[in-house]
């Protein structure tokens, strides 16, 4: 069943109930100076900071956009690119695209103009819809994207090179278009996060979207009364597929524009949120702010909050232990996934397995997993291999990239590129990205293992371990460390702390710097390797001179 039918059902069953709430802290004049630095948008004092729409309004908005697209000749097989910041229009636009039978192509809001152009061309998008945050970037390329025939702008003051979504949809019917969809119709093209290179286009069918919704609801037991707090960007499968669990039961979701620790807790308190999905940096920021005394838990009513789950990257066990010490009544869960497997859920820990914190869990609802050697043989417990997953959420292909598709799809199994091992109970532990493994003097080093150890140091806010070229050992492990505000840390202190690891695992180079992360919380290791590999080369050249 296509997921568009769930929206139509909710619009009929929960017609006047709230579906989506948008919270924009920039427009809350009470907290403007405190929260401004955490936002990407400019304030407008004439707007309210909180807006909401009902399920009926949601469905009507989707139908209006669908009918607009159909009048412009957009239908099955066409691609419509979405370049929007989180807001109340994002999901109705996404569903409007799906209702026409066209494919939605969400784009990363951090893309440069050239990356936007590349993705539009690769995906064969014929329509681009964007908002004020992207006017400059779209204007740079609008005359150099020949496949894109129509540009729609969401917001006031429409630029001359686009058409106004707000005005045009106002003239369109609110009735659902009569388009027949099936699970086997193509639904979306997502782009890989780019942590291992330039983004690849990932093709999914409607079956995968519906599978993601069922998986999420099965894992987190959403009911109609749950309220989901969504902070990560909706262009990414992670945020959207977690929300799909709420869609399935007609539950309310709150879209929060901002990541300030107090803002997250204030929103959870005011909106009575029961499920909150956080990224590792935000979890740490909340705990650090509480430890510093920036605010007190007593300032918030968090009695409705029942589940905190984390994903998008390996989760340090020490961080969850800290969280549980502050929020002992919260269930904790983690999900593993990737855009090629329609986001989170192909591996799932489960709230009942808190004793296995550090593991990503076992095969999720409706999924199969295995860990294989380079020869394709299934490994034994405590033996590192590559994690492979199989289920209805596996992508159809990397769009227009047969070679890359053949490299990762084997008899229905998706090779994830993540190295992992199981324990004696069958729980899976991530070791690292296959491409991030460091080979030093013939020994394999797994950066995540070293990062988890260093994070135990109370002065460490964040850490990333990368390999740098070395004439004698081939590669050495370098630890880039971000120190917590108000703390100090020296290279000597780090080296002394790392004495707790076997000698060959200890980083041979310590660098103090900020850790770059992408919008879904993953460390941008290619960027770090580019920076510090270049620095290392310059240093070697200076030594020679």
pLDDT of residue 133 exceeding 90: yes
Task: Convert the pLDDT of each residue in 346-382 to its tens digit.
Answer: 999 999 998 898 899 999 999 999 999 988 899 999 9
pLDDT on residue 46: 52
Question: Is 524 contained in some domain?
Answer: yes
Element (H, E) at 254: strand 252-256
Residues 283-302, mean pLDDT to the nearest whole number = 92
Angle (CA) 422-336-429 rounded to 5° is: 20
Task: Convert the pLDDT of each residue in 383-404 to its tens digit.
Answer: 989 999 999 999 999 999 999 9
Which residues does residue 408 pair with via DSSP β-bridges, in sequence order?
A: none
The CATH number of residue 515's host domain is 3.30.300.30
Question: Is 429 contained in some domain?
Answer: no
Instruction: Report the largest interatomic distance among the alpha carbons of the chain, rounded to a whole angstrom.
Output: 75
Contact predicate 107/119, CB 8 Å: yes
Q: Across the chain, what does the average pLDDT equal?
A: 89
pLDDT on residue 165: 97
Residues 249-261, mean pLDDT to the nearest whole number = 94
SS3 content of the chain, % helix, strand, coil (to 5): 35, 25, 35
Question: Is 540 contained in some domain?
Answer: yes
- Residue range(s) defining the domain that contains residue 537: 442-544
pLDDT on residue 538: 40
Question: Is 522 contained in some domain?
Answer: yes
Determine what percent of the chain is predicted with pLDDT higher than 70. 91
Question: Is 216 contained in some domain?
Answer: no
Question: Is 172 contained in some domain?
Answer: no
Could you tell me which residue, 224 or 337, shows the higher pLDDT?
A: 224
Question: Is 447 contained in some domain?
Answer: yes
**pTM, 2 dp:** 0.83
Residues 337-347, mean pLDDT to the nearest whole number = 91
Task: Convert the pLDDT of each residue in 73-111 to its tens digit.
Answer: 999 999 999 999 999 999 999 999 999 999 999 999 888
Structural domain tally of the chain? 1
pLDDT on residue 37: 44
């Amino acid at each position: 069943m296509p997921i568009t039918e769930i929206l139509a059902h909710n619009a009929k069953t929960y017609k006047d109930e709230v579906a989506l709430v948008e919270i924009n802290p920039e427009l809350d004049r009470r907290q403007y100076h405190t929260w401004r630095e955490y936002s990407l948008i400019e304030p407008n004092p004439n707007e309210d900071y909180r807006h909401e729409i009902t399920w009926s309004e949601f469905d009507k908005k989707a139908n209006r956009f669908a009918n607009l697209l159909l009048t412009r000749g957009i239908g099955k097989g066409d691609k419509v690119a979405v370049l929007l910041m989180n807001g109340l229009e994002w999901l109705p636009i996404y569903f409007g695209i799906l209702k026409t039978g066209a494919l939605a192509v969400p784009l990363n809001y951090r893309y440069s103009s050239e990356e936007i152009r590349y993705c539009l061309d690769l995906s064969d998008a014929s329509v681009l819809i964007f908002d004020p945050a992207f006017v400059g970037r779209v204007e740079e390329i609008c005359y150099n994207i020949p496949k894109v025939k129509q540009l729609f702008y969401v917001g006031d003051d429409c630029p001359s090179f686009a058409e106004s979504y707000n005005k045009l949809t106002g003239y369109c019917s609110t009735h659902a278009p009569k388009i027949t969809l099936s699970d086997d119709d193509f639904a979306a093209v997502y782009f890989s996060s780019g942590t291992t290179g330039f983004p690849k286009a990932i093709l999914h069918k409607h079956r995968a979207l519906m599978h993601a919704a069922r998986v999420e609801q099965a894992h987190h037991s959403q009911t109609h009364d749950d309220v989901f707090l969504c902070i990560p960007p909706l262009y990414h499968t992670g945020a959207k597929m977690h929300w799909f669990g709420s869609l399935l039961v007609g539950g309310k979701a709150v879209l929060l524009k901002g990541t300030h620790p107090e803002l997250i807790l204030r929103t959870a308190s005011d909106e009575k949120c029961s499920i909150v999905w956080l990224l590792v940096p935000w979890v740490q920021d909340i705990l650090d702010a509480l430890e510093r005394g920036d605010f007190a838990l007593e300032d918030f009513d968090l009695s409705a909050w029942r589940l905190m789950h984390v994903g998008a990257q390996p989760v340090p066990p020490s961080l969850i232990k800290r969280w549980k010490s502050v929020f002992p009544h919260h269930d904790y869960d983690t999900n593993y996934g990737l855009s090629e497997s329609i986001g989170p859920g192909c591996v799932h820990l489960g709230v009942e397995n808190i004793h296995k914190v550090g593991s990503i869990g076992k095969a999720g609802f409706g999924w199969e997993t295995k860990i294989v050697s380079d020869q394709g043989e299934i490994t034994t417990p405590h033996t590192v291999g590559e994690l492979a997953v199989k289920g209805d959420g596996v992508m159809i292909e990397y769009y227009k990239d047969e070679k890359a598709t053949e490299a990762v799809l084997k008899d229905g199994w998706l090779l994830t590129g993540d190295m992992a091992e199981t324990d004696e109970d069958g729980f899976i532990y991530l070791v690292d990205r296959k491409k991030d493994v460091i080979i030093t003097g013939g020994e394999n080093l797994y950066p995540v293992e070293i990062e988890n150890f260093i994070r135990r140091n109370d002065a460490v806010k964040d850490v990333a371990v990368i390999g740098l070229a070395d004439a004698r050992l081939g590669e050495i492990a370098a630890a880039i460390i971000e120190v917590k505000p108000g703390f100090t840390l020296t290279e000597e202190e780090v080296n002394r702390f790392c004495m707790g690891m076997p000698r060959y695992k200890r980083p041979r180079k310590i660098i103090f710097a900020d850790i770059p992360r992408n919008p879904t919380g993953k460390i941008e290791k290619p960027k770090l390797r580019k920076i510090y590999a270049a620095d290392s080369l310059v240093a070697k050249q200076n030594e020679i001179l």
